[in-house]
Amino acid sequence: MENEKQVPRRDFIKTTAVVATVAAIPGILSSGCAETEQTEGPKVWPENKLNIAVIGVGMGHANMQNCLDENIVALCDVDLNRVAIRINKFKEEHPDKTVPYQYQNYKTMFAEIGDLIDAVIIATPDHTHARITLDAMKLGKHVYCQKPLTHSVYESRILTQAAEKYNVATQMGNQGASGNDTSWVCESIWNGDIGEVTEVHAWTNRPIWPQCLNRPEETPSTPKGLDWDLWLGPAPARPYSPMYHPWNWRGWFDFGTGALGDMACHILDVAMRSLRLQYPTGIQASSTKWTLESPPESEKVTYYFPEREKYRNVEMPEVKLTWYDGGLMPDRPLELEDGEMMGDNDGGVLFVGTKGKIMCGCYAKNAKRLPTKDFKDYSPTINERLVEGGIGGHEKDWIRACKEDPATRVKTKSHFGYAGPFNEVVVMGTVAARLSGLQRVLKWNGEEMVFTNIQPGEKMRVPLSVKLDETKVPPNYNSEYGMIDAYEYAKSLINQMPRKGWELEI
C-alpha cells in the first residue's frame, strides 16, 4: 500500500564545481555528442528542481512538455535530425528556456554528464526500453519509461527487480493510471456496486500503422545523422529501411509489440487495478493473417485469471478478460441506447458484474454505469489518493516522488513494482496469437514465466510470409509456411536473447 505521508524534498542543487566541469565538455559528434549549444561558464540550477534528460525525442516530446517546471538539461536520440528538429521546436515554443546538451548515444551522455542528471525520461522504441532503463537505474537515476515498459516478459521481470534494488522513483507512461476516472471505476467495483465481476471486455482502434508485413527487400542507404546500429540495439541486425524508422516500428515483432502492446497498458490498467489481477493461468487467441516478422491486423486474445482474495466489499472470483483490436469489438451491451458509443474513439473497457455493468473509454475516461439513463447521478466516494492534474499530472507525480526521501516516498501510480508485473501480462498476450497453431488454451505459470502445456520437441506450422499475388485474376494469396519447434519458439518469445552488448545484468 502507498505511504500517504508527505516528506521534505531533498536538495537537488549541483555544486558550481561539478557544473563547471560538465559545461566545459565540448560537443564531439564522433563520441555520440551532438551539442548544438554551448553554455557560457558555470551554471547552477535553481533550487529544488530536477535535472532531466530525455532519451527518444519523438514520443518524449509530450512527456518533456509536462516537465517544464524542472530543468531539461539534455536531449538524446539516435537520429540527430530529430534532435535538431526538436531543439528548434523547443526554442520556438519556449524562447526563455534552453537545453544545453544534445547527444546521439545515451551511454556517452551518461559518461560525460551523468553527474548532472537526476532523472531520465525514456521514450525510445519498445525493444530498447529495458537496457536503457536498467542502465539509468544502476546509475541511481529516477526513471520515467514509456509504455509498454518492456518488449518481453523476462525484461519486465528484470526491471521490477532492479527498481526494488536501486530504490529510485519510477513511473511507466500509462497516464490513465493517474486519472480520476480510474479511481472512480476502482471505488465503484470495490464498493460492490455492480457485484462480482466475472467478465471483462477491452478493445482498441489500433493498429493505425501497417501490420502483417514481410521483411522489406529493398535496402536504401541509411540517412545521414542516423546511427542505425544503435537504433537496432538488442534486435537482430538487418539493413535500414524507412519501413522501420521513424514510424512503422510498432508493426514489427523485433522492435514493437503491435496493437496489444501499444494500447493495453493504457486500456487494461483500470481492469488490472480494480480487479487486483496478477498473473493469468491461461490464455488463447485467434487472429487474421500474420507473419514471423509482423503481428496480425486484428486479433482476439482471452486471458483467464484465477480467484483472488476478497477486497473491501466485494469478492474477487475467477474472471475472463477478452481483448480485441484491429476493428474487432465485443457484443454491444443491450443496456446501451441506440447511437450511444461504446467507449471512445481509442477503445474502451466493459465490466460485467453479477449486479450490473460499467463501461469506460481509453484511460478509463467517461466511466459510467449502465444503463446510463438510470445512473446519471451515480458517483462513488473516492478514498484513493488522487493525482493533482489527473491524467495530465502523471509526469508531475513522478517528479514529486523523485524529490521525496526514498525511505518514506509515496509511490507513483504506475511504479515499476506495479507496472512490471502488469506489463508481463500485456506482453505475454502478444505471444498468444503466434502460438495459436497449437490449438489449445495455453496454460501459464507466471512465477516461472513459462507455458506449461507445450512439450519439448512439439512442432507447429507458422506463416513465414504472406503475399498477395496480383498477377493472377482474381488475385490470391501466395503465402509460405514452415514447421518450427513450438517449445523453443515459445521460450524465445518470452525471453528474447539480445545482441552482444545489450544483455541485461542487474
Q: What is the tally of structural domains in the chain?
A: 2
Are the beta carbons of 431 and 437 closer than 8 angstroms? Answer: no
Cα dihedral: 309, 314, 317, 323 (round 10) = -110
Cell numbers at residue 293, please? Answer: 516478422
Tell me, yes or no, whether 447 lies in a domain: no
Among residues 363, 385, 407, the one where a domain terminates is 385
| CB neighbour burial string for 56-95, b if at least 16 within 10 angstroms, e if fewer | bbbbbbebbebbeebbbbbbbbbbbebbbebbeebeeeee
- 7, pLDDT greater than 70: no
User: 111 by DSSP, 3-state: which?
Assistant: helix
446-455 contacts: CB < 8 A, separation 24 or more? Answer: 446/278, 446/279, 446/280, 447/279, 449/153, 449/154, 449/157, 449/424, 449/494, 449/495, 450/491, 450/494, 451/490, 454/486, 454/487, 454/490, 455/487
- The pLDDT tens digits of the residues spanning 388-436 come to 999 999 999 999 999 999 999 999 999 999 999 999 999 999 999 999 9
**Which pLDDT value is given to residue 471?**
84
Angle of helix 106-113 relative to helix 129-138, nearest 10 degrees?
10
Q: Rounded to the nearest 5 degrees, what angle is found at the Cα of 203, between the Cα atoms of 308 and 370?
A: 70
93 and 131 part of one domain: yes
**Residue spans of alpha helices (H) in 256-379:** 258-267, 269-274
373 within some domain? yes
Q: How many Cβ atoms sit within 10 Å of the Cβ of residue 470? A: 10
In a domain, 482, yes or no: no
- Judgement on whether residues 164 and 201 belong to the same structural domain of the protein: no
- The answer to whether residue 237 sits within a structural domain is no
Nearest to 214 by CA among 463, 470, 482, 485: 463
Q: Is residue 352 located within the same domain as residue 399?
A: no
Rg (CA), the chain: 23
Task: Tell me the pLDDT band of 45, cut-offs 50, 70 and 90.
Answer: low
Residues 88 and 198 in one domain: no
208 Cβ contact list (under 8 Å, min separation 6):
none
In a domain, 430, yes or no: no
pTM of the model: 0.91
**Residue type present at position 358:** I
Q: What is the pLDDT of residues 442-476, one digit of tens each?
A: 999 999 999 999 999 999 999 999 988 888 888 88
> Do 201 and 321 have their domain in common?
yes
Q: What is 19-55 written as a DSSP string?
A: HHHHHTPPP-GGGTB-------S---PPTT--EEEEE
- List, for residues 215-238, the tens digit of each pLDDT value: 999 999 999 999 999 999 999 999
* Interior angle at CA 77, CA 210 and CA 109, nearest 5: 150
> Could you count the other beta carbons within 10 Å of the beta carbon of residue 29?
11
Work out the number of other CB atoms within 10 angstroms of the CB of residue 432.
25
DSSP state of 389: T
- Position 320 scores a pLDDT of 98
Domain that holds residue 101: 16-177+391-419
**For 144-166, what is the mean pLDDT?**
98
**210 exposure class (CB count in 10 Å sphere: 0-12, 13-18, 19+):** middle
Residue 399 sits in the same domain as residue 270: no
Whether 126 is covered by a domain: the verdict is yes
Taking the CB of residue 230, how many other CB atoms lie within 10 A of it?
16
* Domain annotation covers residue 490: no
pLDDT for res 46: 65
Q: Residue 109, Cβ neighbours under 10 Å: how many?
A: 24
Residue 236's pLDDT is what? 97
Return the CATH number at 49: 3.40.50.720
Beta bridge partners of 201: 322, 350
> pLDDT above 70 covers what percent of the chain?
91
Query: Which of 336, 359, 385 is at the close of a domain?
Result: 385
Is the pLDDT reported for residue 196 higher than 90? yes
- Of 364, 385, 406, at which residue does a domain stop? 385
Same domain for 202 and 329, yes or no, is yes
Query: Tell me, what CATH number does 267's domain have?
Result: 3.30.360.10
473 in a structural domain: no
Residues 407 and 372 in one domain: no
Q: Are 339 and 218 in contact (CB under 8 A)?
A: no
pLDDT at residue 33 tops 80: no
Residues 134, 194 within the same domain: no
Mean per-residue pLDDT over the chain, rounded = 91
Give CA separation, 15 vs 22, 43, 44, 98, 116, in Å: 11, 9, 7, 20, 10
Partners of 186 in the β-ladder: none
Amino acid sitting at position 457: G
At 352, phi and psi to the nearest 5? -110, 110
pLDDT of residue 356: 98
Note whether 26 and 72 are same-domain residues: yes
Contacts of 476 (CB under 8 A, 6+ apart): 468, 469
Q: 306 by DSSP, 3-state: which?
A: coil
User: Are residues 205 and 337 part of one domain?
Assistant: yes
Mean per-residue pLDDT, 136-161: 98
What single letter denotes the amino acid at residue 163?
A: A
Cα 337 to chain center, whole Å? 34
Same domain, 127 and 192: no
